[in-house]
Amino acid sequence: MNDETEKTPSSHLRLVEPEKHQSEAEKNFPGVRLVNLLKRRAEKNNEVMSDIAEHLGVSLSYLSSIFRGLRPVTGMSREAYVNAANYLNLPVAQIYLLADVMKLSDFYPEQSVSAVCERIHDSMCLDPKWSGYVPSASTWTSMPMSVKILIGLLYEASGGPRFSELKSASDKEG
């Protein structure tokens, strides 16, 4: 093939935003964070969709349908996730989180996560450095578990009790 015909026009598909007729819910499909990160990296590298497909080891049509939310990001193969991790220079576990295959709460036994999160909230309420920033009990209760875990990890990083220590304390009680 010569240089002019090496890539067909369809393989040069630019990275486009979702169609205007799509609802906001359709633009926020599971895995959209990974899709957006892949798009940003490609734009930064001045790459087109066919380049991303090549990096991930998937077909252009498959990637296009994922990017438009027509196929689930969660349906990609492990190899595609590993390739995405290499392309984005991120750990594979983070790719699973971005693809909504896994959640932060998946890293802890489900029955103890709720109890640990309550201990985190109680501990933050008593901490002079955090008490002014702690969400009210009703707000805390209504927060998604992933947000509670993230706040707990931030609290831990700032010098609060270790998440694992709170977990083991709640396990002893139960």
The one-digit pLDDT tens for each residue of the chain (174 residues) are 444 434 444 444 445 444 444 444 346 788 888 999 999 999 999 999 999 999 999 999 999 988 888 888 888 999 999 999 999 999 998 899 899 888 877 776 666 778 888 888 888 888 888 888 888 888 998 998 888 888 888 888 888 777 665 554 444 444
Establish if 1 belongs to a structural domain.
Answer: no
26 and 97 together in one domain: yes
Establish if 2 belongs to a structural domain.
Answer: no
13 and 77 together in one domain: yes
What's the alpha-carbon Rg for the chain, to the nearest Å?
Answer: 21
**Helix, strand, coil share of the chain (percent; to 5):** 65, 0, 35
Identify the pLDDT of residue 15.
52
61 and 93 together in one domain: yes
98 and 116 together in one domain: no
Token pair listed for 10:
């369809």
Are 136 and 106 in contact by the 8 Å Cβ rule? The answer is: no
Are 126 and 136 in contact by the 8 Å Cβ rule? The answer is: no
- Last residue of some domain: 83, 102, 121? 102
44 and 85 together in one domain: yes
Gap between the Cα atoms of 8 and 5, Å rounded:
6
- Last residue of some domain: 51, 73, 102? 102
Establish if 3 belongs to a structural domain.
Answer: no
67 and 111 together in one domain: no
96 and 80 together in one domain: yes
147 and 74 together in one domain: no
Residues spanned by the domain of 159: 105-173
* DSSP per position, 110-140: HHHHHHHHHHHHHHHHH-TTTTTTPPPHHHH
- Contacts (Cβ under 8 Å, ≥6 apart) of 82: 92, 95
97 and 112 together in one domain: no
Are 113 and 149 in contact by the 8 Å Cβ rule? The answer is: yes
Identify the pLDDT of residue 73.
87
- Last residue of some domain: 81, 102, 123? 102
Are 63 and 53 in contact by the 8 Å Cβ rule? The answer is: yes
125 and 69 together in one domain: no
Quick check: helix, strand or coil at residue 59?
Answer: coil
112 and 123 together in one domain: yes
Gap between the Cα atoms of 81 and 90, Å rounded:
10
pTM: 0.56
69 and 110 together in one domain: no
Straight-line distance from the first to the last Cα atom of the chain, in angstroms, rounded to the nearest whole number? 68
